[in-house]
Amino acid sequence: MNLPSHLFLPLAGAVVLAAAVMGTWLWPEPVVPPLKLEPPPVATPVFVQPQPPPPAPTPRPVRPVARAVPPAPAVQPLQPVEPPRPATVAPPPEPVPWAAAPAFPPPPQSEPAASPPPVPGKRLAMMGNAASVLERGVLTLEKSRDEALARGDKAESERLNKLIEKHRSRLAYLRARQPQPQAPDSGEPPKR
């Protein structure tokens, strides 16, 4: 019987697996002696009489012995200690001059736009709505700031002032981007 070569490895693995399973079933179990749980022997307390301490040795009379006392070392006055020198820090590296920097072509110079680009009608209406909502928000913030000043809450009024400034700058940006509606050209010169 000729088996295809791609079936040989899976079949060999199956044979090894079957042999391992059969070996575990047929292997004799280890003999473990049964455990006897007997209570541990109880030790009975034995009372021992304390022995008296050994007698203290009698003190010997001490004769005074004259010994030469070494002369005391001469005291030297303290000398001033120099304060540690401040650590020297390396100066920051010199900035690279523009002449030594890699040369990149300068950005193209564009002419400043005289007027904002034309805005489609729907977008123009959306910008108008955003401007009106932002203007109402500024008014609300101004009222809140006045209330905070009346309460004497300076921190809150300063926070609201910053918000009002931010909203006013956004409002100015929106109004600058929004083209002014032009009157239809009727052929007459504008009145002065």
What is the band of 112 on the pLDDT scale with cuts at 50, 70, 90? low
CA 148/CA 164 separation, integer angstroms:
14
Query: The pTM is what?
Result: 0.32
Q: Give the start-to-end residue ranges of the domains of the chain.
A: 121-177
Asked if residue 8 has pLDDT above 60, the reply is yes
What is the band of 150 on the pLDDT scale with cuts at 50, 70, 90? very high
Q: Across residues 89-104, what is the average pLDDT?
A: 63
Q: Across residues 44-67, what is the average pLDDT?
A: 73
Supply φ then ψ for residue 49, to 5 degrees: -75, 130
CB burial of 65-79 (b: ≥16 within 10 Å; e: otherwise) equals eeeeeeeeeeeeeee
Share of the chain above pLDDT 70, in %: 64
Higher pLDDT, 18 or 81: 18
The contacts of residue 134 (CB under 8 Å, 6+ apart) are 167, 170, 171, 174
